[in-house]
């Protein structure tokens, strides 16, 4: 929704012009399943259906329950590894991931505080300050988004 136009300058350069400033627009380049680009197989199968998404990430989508959650499973063919104490391990370490949709901010923050949620993609500045004061010691890595 932020892209005004996307065009190729040459074989290895693309230009993305935005309708308005958005600090996270680049996430659409491949961070989420809603990437701006799609594999040929996805286009051919029908990109409107989540079951047709093709990628090389650490997880693949197992279910999409509208208004409730997304389910993910570990991609057994994921290419990345990590070394811990000299031993190489396949990533990711998590076999299953559930991403609930919690539109109400106070409910989302309560879920973080009580450990119902392990992570949250976005936390606005005011609840972030509250989390820092009231959250259990297990919550780490608060990152404040730049304004839009």
Cα–Cα distance, 6 to 18 (Å, whole number): 9
Distance CA 117, CA 136 (A): 12
pLDDT top residue among 80 and 147: 80
Task: Find residue 18's DSSP bridge partners.
Answer: 3
Q: Where are the domains of the chain?
A: 57-101, 102-148
Q: Given pLDDT bands bounded at 50, 70 and 90, which one contains residue 78?
A: very high
Q: What is the mean pLDDT of the chain?
A: 80
CB 94 within 8 Å of CB 73: no
Residue 148 binned pLDDT confidence (cut-offs 50, 70, 90): very low
Distance between CA atoms of 39 and 18, rounded to whole angstroms?
A: 23
Q: How many residues does the chain have?
A: 148
CA distance 7 to 21: 18
Nearest by Cα to 120 from 134, 94, 101: 101
Report whether 74 contacts 96 (CB < 8 A). yes
Mean pLDDT, range 55-63, rounded to an integer = 88
Give me the pLDDT at residue 136, please: 57
- Best mean pLDDT range from 20-34, 43-57, 71-85: 71-85
Beta bridge partners of 97: 72
- Considering only CA atoms, which of 63, 48, 56 is closest in space to residue 30? 56
Over 60: is that where the pLDDT of 138 sits?
no
Summarize pLDDT for 17-33 with one digit per residue, the tens.
Answer: 888 887 777 766 665 55
């Amino acid at each position: 929704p932020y892209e005004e136009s996307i065009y190729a300058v040459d074989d290895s350069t693309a230009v993305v012009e935005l309708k308005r400033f958005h600090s996270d627009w680049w996430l659409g380049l491949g961070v989420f399943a809603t990437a701006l680009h799609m594999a040929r197989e996805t286009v051919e199968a029908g990109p409107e259906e989540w079951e047709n998404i093709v990628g090389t990430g650490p997880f693949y989508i197992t279910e999409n329950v509208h208004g409730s959650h997304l389910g993910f499973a570990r991609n057994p063919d994921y290419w990345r590894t990590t070394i811990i104490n000299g031993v190489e391990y396949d990533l990711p370490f998590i076999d299953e991931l559930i991403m609930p949709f919690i539109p109400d901010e106070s409910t989302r923050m309560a879920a973080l505080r009580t450990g119902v949620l392990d992570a949250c993609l976005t936390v606005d500045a005011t609840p972030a300050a509250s989390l820092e004061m009231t959250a259990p010691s297990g919550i780490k890595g608060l990152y404040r988004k730049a304004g839009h």
